Amino acid sequence: MKHLAVMMLFFVGCIALNAQEVTVTGKVTDEEGIGLSGATVYAIELGVGTTADMDGNYELSLPTGKVLLEASYVGFSASSKNVEVSGATTIDFVLSPASFLDEVVVYSGSKKAEKLTSSIATVITIGAREIDRYAGNPAELLARKKGVDYFRAGIAAPAFNIRGFNSNFNSKNLQVVDNRFSSLIATGLPMGPLTTTIKEDTEQVELILGPNATLYGPNAHNGLINTITKDPRKHEGLTVAGNLGVTGDGDAYYSGRLRFAKKFNDKWAFKATGEYTKAKEFHYADSVYIDRKLADGSPGMDGVKEAYEEFELDNNVEFFKTEASAYFTPKAGTDLIATYGHSNSTYLSPTNVGRNQIIDWRINVFQLRFNTKNFFAQTYFTTSKTDDTYSIDDRTKQYYVGIDSGLSPEEAAGEFSYLSGARFKDDSKRWNAEVQYSNTLFENLELITGIQYQKDMANSLGTYLLDENEDDTIDVAQLGGYLHLNYDFGSGFKALAAARVDNHDIYGTNFIPKLGLSKEMEKGSFRLTYGQGIAAPTILNMYGNLFGGLILGNAEGFTLADGSKVDPQDVEKVSTYEIGYRGALADKLYTDINAYYNVNKDFLSPVTVVGVTTHRGDTQIEEVQAAYGVYNGLVATYINFGEVNTYGADLSLTYSFSPEWSMTANYSYFDYSFDEDNMENDFNNDGEVNFLDFLVNAPKNKGGLGINYYGSRFFGSVFGRAVQKYNYFSSFQIASETLPGMTYRGVPIVEDAPSGDAYNYGPLGGFVTMDLNIGYKVSDKVTVSLAATNLFNNELREFTAAPPTRGLYVLETKIHLD
């Protein structure tokens, strides 16, 4: 695969270097015909741009063929046009005063630049202006978007989910940064706060609602979040940003960030970024429930599980991030981009069995991209390493085992406290490679096709996977190919036919189709799509080895003591039918609305006890389960089961009162149904099919309302978010109202009471919260702004195994030097 990528790079380069160039000229004006001096005109896919002169005139050399041009100017909405360049061409742009419905260019729907109104995918964007003028963590802006279940799992761990089936270990939403997968190797979880990208280098964030697996492969299942960083040729200069803040608990928060970008000449450009952030987690100590025993081994505390605070909890949050990229342009429209990124992170992370103390988790990425008019190729290498991360819950339990055995507190708190497998080490690596070709055939038929290769090399140093040491990696490879055909019928009608074939070392071959139809009009576009997606078992699902083998991965299946079989875990499948419209409803009133219906089959279950086993695959369980003497073959693992239908609708509205003032509103509805007579849906094997088998874990109703002001100096926004109360179950974690007569994991469901290994504080959601952001542009170089998240410092229950969310108030000063 590496040889194929190198050959393709050479072939593509030869084609690009011989492409014919022509001159494109034009003028950028406002609605009154006045030229906009300094407006930017940019060929998005080619990375080529220029600046308009004093009268708004520009000139740009471009290769022949179809090109997507974008014109932008501070205070005005961007405008984009698809144009055919065949000779000397004139393209004029008329920009309107700024609103929140720009003619933005998006990349995620087809893995190439296209106008948002032309995309068949349901794409939500967070633009550079929103990010630049928001003083807080830009991830918070996801809370203002339709269709997103946004929750704060702590000060350092904002997260999101799309269209149900959330959990404390959710790998069904894919995270992408500059075309590279940004997910952990062994667990498949999005990197989230571990990412190496900083706020000041973020050009745009795109969120796809629903599956987009034909282009991105397994795990673009519920949704996809794609971060696009800034091109140093378009965004030059030195930016220094500093944040000083305080949490609702009175603890300090501070962050310093730096970005430098320089275009040296027509061939070379460079950028570098850095960040250091330090804070303290919201004050909270979770309960760990323990069966205490006396030193002689007899039950203590009357045999009842007692609650203890998490042992030696460290609330410190600390991030260090850096990235550097070099851009080489041998000819206009042809780029070779090399990127290195690194992060080191320490924080608290919720899981299904309590919280993990993340300590010095290091991520490194090395990426090489080649891009020209019709070809894109890349290869990248990701490493993940931690030596001291551990499960707080399990370490706490082991500590008290030591105390009950007669050890001193010092002895019990040392290495003894990790002996049950509390410490998680990671030294995993991943290779990715991709080649993509796109072109227009037969005038109206656009082709996008590509090949993707991935090889995961997971290594837990014998701590949480079925490896044994640093030389015993778990290697899993997959190869996928995709084909997208877009046909333009004329009169605004376009059709999409797409398919993907994936072959995986463990779960075999899968075929994934997608069909779509759109109608683009003067003031908007309709879209109708059918697509499939798959959620793939992670390496942890397949080769996990936790707590002495009590939890084992299910790549090979199990044989139970009665001779029956537990099948190996396979992919989960979703089929989605969706209809939507984005555009103008009236003068100054814009909308983006969609409705969907999903058929979900063969769920990837949370960890569940399957019973006493004799074999994992063909291997006797005694040879696999390290603590066989304790568990005697009792195993918890992951399985597939059932079928459920989910459906809903998402609506957003934007009304522009004036070029400076606008109002936004969004609302999302979600629900589900299942066959109560289909016993394949009886996941918990209690003889009854009900909601406890599916654990949808999503609010039925949620919405938000915001007022925004963008003036020449002052700017600001206030946003209110409402989330309906809902019950939540995720392995050991529970947040539910009292349900008389019902049990979860064998324990009655009672609000504000212990529930097995966790405490049930009651349902999540059920709140209204306000966020505020205000700022002032002191000069062209200095901006000061303030962000207040959870303005009134209310205690919000947003997630389990996490502190109640409280306020965060941050003052930001940003200096930009050209």
| DSSP assigned state of 188 | -
pLDDT at 135: 93
Q: Are residues 93 and 181 in the same domain?
A: no
Average pLDDT over residues 541-565: 93
Q: Are residues 412 and 559 in the same domain?
A: yes
Q: For residue 669, give the nearest of 646, 642, 692 by alpha carbon.
A: 646
Q: Which of 9-23, 344-358, 420-434 has the lowest mean pLDDT?
A: 9-23
Tell me if 141 sits within 8 A of 131, measured CB to CB: yes
Residue-wise pLDDT for 713-730, tens only, equals 999 999 999 999 999 999
- Which residues in 692-701 are b (16+ Cβ under 10 Å) and which e? bbbbbbbbeb
Q: Can you list the alpha helix ranges (DSSP code H) found in 559-664?
A: 621-624, 628-631
Tell me if 9 sits within 8 A of 370, measured CB to CB: yes
Residue 447 lies in a domain: yes
Count CB neighbours of 144 within 10 A.
24
**d(Cα 664, Cα 475) in Å, to the nearest integer?**
48
Reading the block at residue 451, the tokens are: 């090949």
**d(Cα 324, Cα 582) in Å, to the nearest integer?**
37
Residue 381 reports pLDDT greater than 90: yes
Residue-wise pLDDT for 312-340, tens only, equals 999 999 999 999 999 999 987 889 999 99
Q: Are residues 54 and 145 in the same domain?
A: no
How would residue 299 be classed by pLDDT, with cut points 50, 70 and 90?
low
How would residue 352 be classed by pLDDT, with cut points 50, 70 and 90?
confident
How would residue 11 be classed by pLDDT, with cut points 50, 70 and 90?
very low
Q: Collapsing DSSP states into helix, strand and coil, what is residue 406?
A: coil
Q: Which amino acid is at 798?
A: E
| 73: CATH | 2.60.40.1120
How would residue 12 be classed by pLDDT, with cut points 50, 70 and 90?
very low
Residue 9 reports pLDDT greater than 70: no
Q: Are residues 92 and 175 in the same domain?
A: no
Residue 752 lies in a domain: no
pLDDT at 619: 95
Residues near 346 by Cβ (< 8 Å), separated by ≥ 6? 316, 317, 318, 319, 358, 359, 360, 361
Q: Are residues 560 and 435 in the same domain?
A: yes
- Give, for 670, the enclosing helix (H) or strand (E): strand 661-673
Parallel, antiparallel or unpaired: strands 21-29 and 93-94: parallel
| Counted domains in the chain | 2
Average pLDDT over residues 770-788: 96
Residue 1 reports pLDDT greater than 50: no
Residue 111 lies in a domain: no
Residue-wise pLDDT for 515-551, tens only, equals 999 998 888 899 999 999 888 899 999 999 988 899 9
Average pLDDT over residues 133-144: 91
**d(Cα 727, Cα 697) in Å, to the nearest integer?**
7
Tell me if 422 sits within 8 A of 288, measured CB to CB: no
pTM given for the model? 0.90
Q: Are residues 348 and 200 in the same domain?
A: yes
Residue 138 reports pLDDT greater than 80: yes
Residue 18 reports pLDDT greater than 50: no
Q: Are residues 166 and 19 in the same domain?
A: no
| 486: CATH | 2.40.170.20
Give the residue with greater pLDDT, 657 vs 109: 657
Average pLDDT over residues 16-29: 74
Residue 429 reports pLDDT greater than 50: yes
Residue 412 lies in a domain: yes
Residue-wise pLDDT for 437-474, tens only, equals 998 888 789 999 999 999 999 999 999 999 988 889 99
Residue-wise pLDDT for 96-135, tens only, equals 765 545 456 777 777 777 767 677 888 888 888 889 889 9
Q: Are residues 137 and 19 in the same domain?
A: no
- Give, for 656, the enclosing helix (H) or strand (E): strand 640-656
Residue 754 lies in a domain: no
Average pLDDT over residues 797-804: 94
Residue-wise pLDDT for 279-291, tens only, equals 999 999 988 988 8
Residue 623 reports pLDDT greater than 90: yes
**d(Cα 587, Cα 582) in Å, to the nearest integer?**
14
Tell me if 254 sits within 8 A of 228, measured CB to CB: no
Q: Are residues 73 and 165 in the same domain?
A: no
Tell me if 63 sits within 8 A of 15, measured CB to CB: no
Q: Which amino acid is at 608?
A: T
Question: Of 62, 82, 97, which residue sits at a domain end?
Answer: 97
Q: Can you list the alpha helix ranges (DSSP code H) found in 188-258?
A: 213-216
Residue 322: burial class (beta carbons within 10 Å; 0-12, 13-18, 19+): middle
Residue 240 reports pLDDT greater than 90: yes
Q: Are residues 194 and 77 in the same domain?
A: no
How would residue 345 be classed by pLDDT, with cut points 50, 70 and 90?
very high
Residue 288: burial class (beta carbons within 10 Å; 0-12, 13-18, 19+): buried
Q: Are residues 492 and 394 in the same domain?
A: yes
- Give, for 132, the enclosing helix (H) or strand (E): helix 128-132
**d(Cα 165, Cα 160) in Å, to the nearest integer?**
12
How many residues in the chain?
818
Tell me if 535 sits within 8 A of 604, measured CB to CB: yes
**d(Cα 149, Cα 145) in Å, to the nearest integer?**
9
Reading the block at residue 392, the tokens are: 């707080």
**Longest CA pairwise span in the chain (Å):** 92
Q: What percent of the chain clears pLDDT 70, i.e. is strictly above it?
A: 94
Count CB neighbours of 511 within 10 A.
10
Place of tokens 């066959």: 675
pLDDT at 72: 81
Q: What percent of the chain clears pLDDT 90, i.e. is strictly above it?
A: 62
Residue-wise pLDDT for 180-223, tens only, equals 999 999 999 999 999 999 999 998 898 988 888 888 887 788 88
pLDDT at 693: 85
Residues near 309 by Cβ (< 8 Å), separated by ≥ 6? 285, 286, 287, 288, 396
Tell me if 111 sits within 8 A of 101, measured CB to CB: no
Give the residue with greater pLDDT, 521 vs 613: 613
Question: Of 62, 97, 132, which residue sits at a domain end?
Answer: 97
Residue 2 reports pLDDT greater than 50: no
**d(Cα 378, Cα 365) in Å, to the nearest integer?**
13
pLDDT at 271: 98
Residue 736 lies in a domain: no
Domain ranges, residue 78: 2-97
pLDDT at 783: 97
**d(Cα 109, Cα 124) in Å, to the nearest integer?**
10
Average pLDDT over residues 144-162: 90
Residue 87 lies in a domain: yes
**d(Cα 195, Cα 197) in Å, to the nearest integer?**
6
As a whole number, the mean pLDDT across the chain is 89
Cα 184 to Cα 121, 195, 552, 800, 801: the distances in Å are: 26, 10, 19, 21, 21
Cα 646 to Cα 301, 678, 682: the distances in Å are: 46, 17, 18
Give the residue with greater pLDDT, 35 vs 620: 620
Residue 609 lies in a domain: yes
Q: Are residues 64 and 130 in the same domain?
A: no
pLDDT at 759: 92
Average pLDDT over residues 582-590: 88
pLDDT at 556: 94
**d(Cα 100, Cα 582) in Å, to the nearest integer?**
13
Average pLDDT over residues 132-142: 91
Residue-wise pLDDT for 670-716, tens only, equals 999 999 999 888 887 788 888 888 889 999 999 999 999 988 899 99
- Which residues in 624-662 are b (16+ Cβ under 10 Å) and which e? bbbebeebebbbbbbbbbbbbebbbbbbbbbbbeeebeb
How would residue 296 be classed by pLDDT, with cut points 50, 70 and 90?
low
